[in-house]
Structure 1
Amino acid sequence: MDNFLEINLQALADNFKKISDFVGSDTSIMGVVKSNAYGHGLEKCALALDRVGCKWFAVTDIFEAQVLRKILPQSAILILGPVSRDDFSSAISGNFRLTIDSENDLEFLAGKAQIFGKRATIHIKVNTGMNRFGCDPLKVVSLVEKAKNYSSLFVEGIYSHFYNSADHEAIEKQWKIFSEVLFDLQKKDLEIPLRHIANSDAVFLNDQVWLELIRLGLALYGLAEQNVLALAPVLNWKAKILKIRGVSQGECVSYGCDYKAKKDFVLAIIGAGYADGYSRALSGKAEVLVSGKKCKVVGRINMDYTFIDITSAMRVSQKMSPAEGDEVILVGRQDKEEITVNDLARWAGTIPHEIVSRLPESAERRLVDRQIVNRQRLNYLTNDVT
């Protein structure tokens, strides 16, 4: 492969342990592994988290849930997104936790579960301001009362979702609505064992929102904006130099001649493009690491290739200069320099979630043991996560 991802499962495990110690034993971590574990690789990341004590997992849809169930038969798996009624039977047989926010879905699910002779487990979602999914706060008590009248349903959890978890005021506003709903349920003696609203950034900004569960995505992968625990990035991204050539002043580079050389320079073409998840929006903005030096992306990023000005990385000795076949760092550290996922997001005008979730499932993911990396001997694991 001309580019590949290195996934440090030891860093993932360490991040889980740090956060678990931080929140204490009264709060459990739900590992959010939706969108192929934020591009890091669903199965390997889930197995690594399971081995360090993560018993709760969250996914977007039933397809991700079914992949998880094959490798984690005993784990609790919550499907965060809506599940088609056509898939209710599969969800019940897979023992997945379903998100419910309407009476119609509640009644239909109860009927399906009764037919199967099983008890479906549900988490009620409350709309506290995101206005995506969730029950109106004023209707939650009625919905829970109805759910508890069905012997085929178990109301295990209730939750909501912050729309701006990096903002204290926004957190307080939604927390007030959610806590009022919880109080109304308590007044009616409608007990629900598990409550959750906190996500990665909120965990570090407001400890009153921890409750029985916290849902962690970015923080586990070392990508959260709030990084008070010095959580380590789990992902590195590397590409190979395929061609090095000289470009003369006035010559064009890449499609459209958007970039015209202002002076003679040394150009490297690397084997990564927008088909690999290296966004076209990074054209002319991003930097990569070549021989420990930050080098600029020039010209338009192609489907499979990107153009780099490596003049600053060239040495007096040709043997010390970059060569075809050398590795370039798209995300990661080299010598004293580092390029982060957050850097890519800033250059592309987006968020880190988008950068990593758009990494193709077909991308090569090499599993790296941290201790071996520290000894400067890479060992690529293929069948194990230890």
Structure 2
Amino acid sequence: MDNLTHNIRVLQKAFPNRFLCPMVKANAYGHGDVKLALHLEKLGIQQLGVCLIEEGLLLRKSGVNVEILVFRGFDEVGAKAIIDNNMTAVVSTWEQIEALEKVANKKVSVHVKFDTGMNRLGFRVEEAQKVFDRLNGHAKIEVKALCTHLYIGENAQEMDQTSAHQLQKLNKISEVFKSMNVFCHALNSSGILNLMEMEKKGSQDKSHPLYMQNWGLRPGLMIYGYSSLGHPDVAGLKPVMNLKSVVNNFRQVKAGETVSYGAKWTAQRDSVIAVISIGYGDGYHRLLSNKSSVLFDGKSVPVVGTVCMDYLMVDVTDVVQGRALETFKNTEVVLFGADQKGHVLSADELAHKAHTISYEMLTSVGERVPRVYVGKETP
């Protein structure tokens, strides 16, 4: 919780007067949405973003009072749930406007999403005037903000790249809605970190699209402590999650014997194999079989054999050599994060070996893995 607080304070200090909507969808990127949402509320966060209506309902039932933006689509039933639970719809289609019109019994505020190049959700750029005409002076719907989604946010510093073009388009759309006094939010973690890098360099180029407006911020990955830019970030972010397990038992394996399903690993020597109580059923990817490592007693040891649903095996021969195995009973094993001795195994490193991204490593951590919260819960 201390690291989460640190990451949020970095943002609040860098951008004190901007719309700031941390994303807590997908169980807060695997960290536990209720606990983190309540903590973020204590930190002064006034908006939170979710994907599903059900995610927002869970937060409301758990005592979260701040504004909740729902980014995925909805029908009439969903529209009523959003309104009845005082959440804010991010409107992306004409059908969603119609759903709100049919069920709203009071004036509701919405954010309107435009597709500036992602080709996933949102009204098309050329529909801006039509959307404005439909919602201007509407009896039931009030537009509070416009938004879009950067699809290559990593290039946001470049003047003639996709992010710059997207921001230019949204800026132009905002001129159509100027009489509504709306604001715009567009910067994801990549966009935010690029802006912070420009600020650190002392950029004076106020013609740059990142400076066209005080773009609102929707940080996701970065509040959980990881940079999405592929290099060390300027924010000094601190990872929030450590994924840990313990040794279930040890197996003495003779040279030539195999380990786990499919006999994909064969001992080249007499070996000591530690069976660890975690597997792909908990979110540790089977793709990491015979590719990754874990931290065991402060040392990096290889995962051997096929990762099972409930277990994985690691070769600890070199670490335990000459020592009684009883002394390693219930030894803590770090799948990613930091161990008690300060050694670090990054989720980025694990993701690289699984040919994926840290987002997936974090969000894959399953529901049956208990979340244990440490640090100050009251800022």
Q: Normalising to structure 2: TM-score of the pair?
A: 0.89
Q: Which amino acid aligns with 1:132?
A: R
1:205 is aligned to 194
Check whether the contact 2:34–2:59 (CA below 8 A) recurs between aligned residues: yes
- Return 102-111 or 124-133, whichever deviates more: 102-111
Cα distance in 2 between the residues matched to 1:229 and 1:275: 34
Greater relative contact order: 1 or 2 (C-alpha under 8 angstroms, separation 6 or more)? Answer: 1
> What is the 5 A alignment of 1:331-370?
331-334=336-339, 335-369=341-375
How many Å apart are 1:95 and its aligned residue?
1.5
Deviation per residue, 1:338-366 (Å, 9 max, x gap): 11111121111111111111222232011
Residues in 1 aligned to 2:352 and 2:294: alpha-carbon distance in whole angstroms: 14
The aligned counterpart of 2:200 is none
1:248-290 alpha-carbon deviations (Å, 9 max, x no partner): 2111110111111122221100000000111101111111001
1:318 matched to 2:307? no
Q: 1:1-386 maps to which residues of 2 (within 5 A)?
A: 9-23=1-15, 25-72=16-63, 74-113=65-104, 116=105, 118-168=106-156, 169-186=161-178, 189-192=179-182, 194-206=183-195, 207-208=210-211, 211=214, 213-226=216-229, 227-318=233-324, 323-334=328-339, 335-369=341-375
Q: 1:61-104, CA deviations, whole angstroms, 9 ceiling, x for partnerless residues?
A: 11111111234453111001112222211111111110112233
Larger mean CA deviation between 288-297 and 225-234 belongs to 225-234
One-letter code aligned to 2:314: I
**Structure 2 residue identity aligned to 1:326:** T
In the alignment, the residues of structure 2 paired with residue 357 and residue 210 of structure 1 have an alpha-carbon distance, to the nearest angstrom, of 32
Q: 2:292 & 2:270 partners in 1: Cα distance? A: 20
In structure 1, the partner of 2:199 is none
Matched residue of 2:100: which SS? helix
Q: Residue 376 of structure 1 aligns with which residue?
A: none
CA distance in 2, matches of 1:367, 1:78: 25
The amino acid across from 1:329 in the alignment is V
Q: Deviations over 1:14-60 (max 9, x none)?
A: 1101111112x221321100000000001110011111111110000
- The 3-state SS of whatever aligns with 1:182 is helix
Structure 1 SS opposite 2:177: helix
Range moving further from structure 2, 31-40 or 218-227: 218-227
Q: Provide, for residues 124-175 of structure 1, a one-character-per-residue CA deviation record: whole Å limited to 9, x for no partner.
A: 0000111110000010221122112321111011100011111232311222
State the distance in 1 between where 2:139 and 2:133 align. Answer: 12
Range moving further from structure 2, 33-42 or 219-228: 219-228
Letter in 1 for 2:310: D
Change (3 A) 1:84 1:107: closer
CA distance in 2, matches of 1:33, 1:52: 15
3-state DSSP class of the match of 2:123? coil
Quick one: distance in 1 between partners of 2:256 and 2:323? 27
Could you list the runs of 5+ residues in structure 1 that have no partner in the other structure? 1-8, 371-383
The one-letter code sitting in structure 2 at the alignment partner of 1:332 is G
Query: 1:32 is paired with a residue of what secondary structure?
Result: coil
- Percent identity between the aligned chains? 29
1:291 touches 1:322 (CA, 8 Å); kept in 2? Answer: no
